[in-house]
Structures are given as structure tokens and as C-alpha cells.
Amino acid sequence: MTVEASALYDVPGPKALARHRLYGGIALLLIAAVIGWVVYMLFHTGQFTYGKWMAFEYRGVQELLLRGLGNTLKAFGWTVLLALPFGALFAAGRLSDHRAVRWSCTLVVEFFRAMPVLVMIFFVFVALKVQPLWALVTGLVLYNGSVLAEVFRAGVLAVPRGQSEAAYALGLRKTQVMAHVLVPQATRAMLPAIISQLVVALKDTSLGFLITYEEFLHAGKLIATNLDYDLPFIPVVIVITPIYIGMCLLLSWLARTVEKRSRRSPRARGGAPVAEAGVALGLPPSAQQ
């Protein structure tokens, strides 16, 4: 391991290590100075006064935030539930051997990937007279599903060609090769990109406030623009931001957990899916080797 590392770059000597420590210390001081200046300005402008934070003591405000958070999770849940099958379906279409199917799916995917999410949401809401929740979900599904279709397609194509060739040699059909050989191996490679796109979808649910959908950001906007609470914009941001960050971190943690479990699965190891597919389909042992 040391030989491989030293082949990529020179091992830093005492002077280089001293410089690195110096640069690290300067960077920490600059970061601390910026944080200190931000905190000072918040106190200086009176953002931590009781008048700006008393709104969160009221039960109505708490219920408004909880209801907004619930609506955000509802929109996100429907988006995930519909975008993943949408992406899988159109990824399969783009990998089809039939030219008409492949070109049609490519046209759909490229069109919705290029369209701004907000334009699609407004079109569905205004032109089609759809309720705010479903207008938001439709726009998010069309965009994120199209991006996920490309992620799925790239993940399947990233599997070494020898895996599919060995499966075809066993007599498996294309759908069986896809389900039993390619997808199990591609899942590990696709998982980080899938979770990243789901994080984007979670954050994009905040666009719902533009079509009067009462999600989390909409609830915060109602509180922040309330004159009775002295326009507590910064306190609302301080309350809402950690919750959004926490939900995104929870998705990342879930991805790492699934990835660790998939590493222990024999289906994720190279070569194993082909043999397992042969066993599952009842092929004779001579054909599985």
C-alpha cells in the first residue's frame, strides 16, 4: 500500500508537513473569523431578540410548520414512488433493440431533462388545472425520472460486457440477463447517483410554494412575512435550514447502509450473478459453469 501511494506522489518531508500544518491553521482561522463575523452581525442586527423568536412559542405556528413538513414529505414520497419506475421504464426503453422504442424513449428523456422544473410545474398547474400537490409531483417526476433513466442506463452499460455474454451463452433471454445479471451488479454503481438525485428532488419540493402548495418553505414564508412577529426572516431560516439538511443527511446515511449491505451480497460480486441466474432458472450444472 505504501509503495502504491508513493508511486502517485512524493511523500512529504518535514518542511512540507510544516507548511501543510501552517496552511491548515490559517484556513481554520479564516473560517472561524467568517463564522464569528456572521454571528456578530446576527446579534448586531437583533436577529436573536425575543420579539423575533416568540412566534415559535405559539401552537398555531408549530402546527403550521409540522403541517408544511408533512406536505413536503408527502410530495417527496409520491415523487420517489413514481420517478423510480419512470426512470427504470425509460432506461429499459433506451436499451431496447427496437429502434422505434429506443428513439421514442430517448426523445422523451432528453425533452424532460432539458425543460426547467418550474416551467413544467407551472404548465401542469395553470394549463391543465391540476391541484397544487399533483402539479408539483408531476413536474418533479418528469424531470427527476428522466435524469434517473440516464443514471440507470449508464449503470447497466458500465457492467463488463463479459457478464452479459456469459449469461447469453447459458441461454438466458435479454429480460432475464437484465434482471438476474446486469441490474444486481449495476445497483452498487448507480446508488450514489440515485441518492444524489433524490436529494435534488427533496429540495425541489420547495418550488411548491410558488403554486400555493402549503409545503415546508411555504409555511416558513407565512411566518417570516408576518408583521405581528417583527418579520422573523432570519429565525425562520435558522429553524428550517437544519431540518432540510437533516433530511438530506438521512438519505445519504440510508444510501451508505444499503451500499454496505450490497457489498456483503454475493449478487454484487463479479461473476456470481451469472451462476446464480443459472441456478434460479433451473439450468443444469454443466451450463452454469
**Could you give the CA distance from residue 197 to residue 249 in angstroms, rounded to a whole number?**
13
Flag whether pLDDT at 5 surpasses 60. no
Question: Which of 6-20, 49-63, 79-93, 187-201 ranks highest by mean pLDDT?
Answer: 79-93
Instruction: Give the pLDDT of residue 158.
Output: 82
Q: What is the pLDDT of residues 199-232, one digit of tens each?
A: 999 999 999 989 989 999 999 988 888 877 778 8
Q: What is the pLDDT of residues 55-99, one digit of tens each?
A: 888 999 999 999 999 999 999 999 999 999 999 999 989 988 889
Q: Using alpha carbons, select from 113, 61, 65, 72 the residue that is nearest to residue 207.
A: 72
Q: What is the pLDDT of residues 89-104, one digit of tens each?
A: 999 899 888 899 999 9
Flag whether pLDDT at 3 surpasses 90. no
User: 162 versus 34: which is more confidently predicted?
Assistant: 34
Flag whether pLDDT at 105 surpasses 60. yes
Q: Share the mean pLDDT of the chain.
A: 84
User: Is 132 within 8 Å of 139 (Cβ atoms)?
Assistant: no
Task: Determine the length of the chain.
Answer: 289
**Could you give the CA distance from residue 198 to residue 251 in angstroms, rounded to a whole number?**
8
pLDDT band (50, 70, 90) for residue 286: very low
Flag whether pLDDT at 156 surpasses 80. yes
Give the residue-averaged pLDDT of 116-131: 94
Instruction: Give the pLDDT of residue 269.
Output: 52
Instruction: Give the pLDDT of residue 163.
Output: 78
Give the residue-averaged pLDDT of 39-64: 89
User: Is 159 within 8 Å of 173 (Cβ atoms)?
Assistant: no
User: Which residue shows C-alpha cell 419512470?
Assistant: 86
User: 139 versus 229: which is more confidently predicted?
Assistant: 139
What amino acid is encoded at 181 in this protein?
Answer: V
Residue 12 φ then ψ, to 5°:
-65, 140
Q: Which of 21-35, 152-166, 243-257, 274-288 has the lowest mean pLDDT?
A: 274-288
What amino acid is encoded at 203 in this protein?
Answer: K
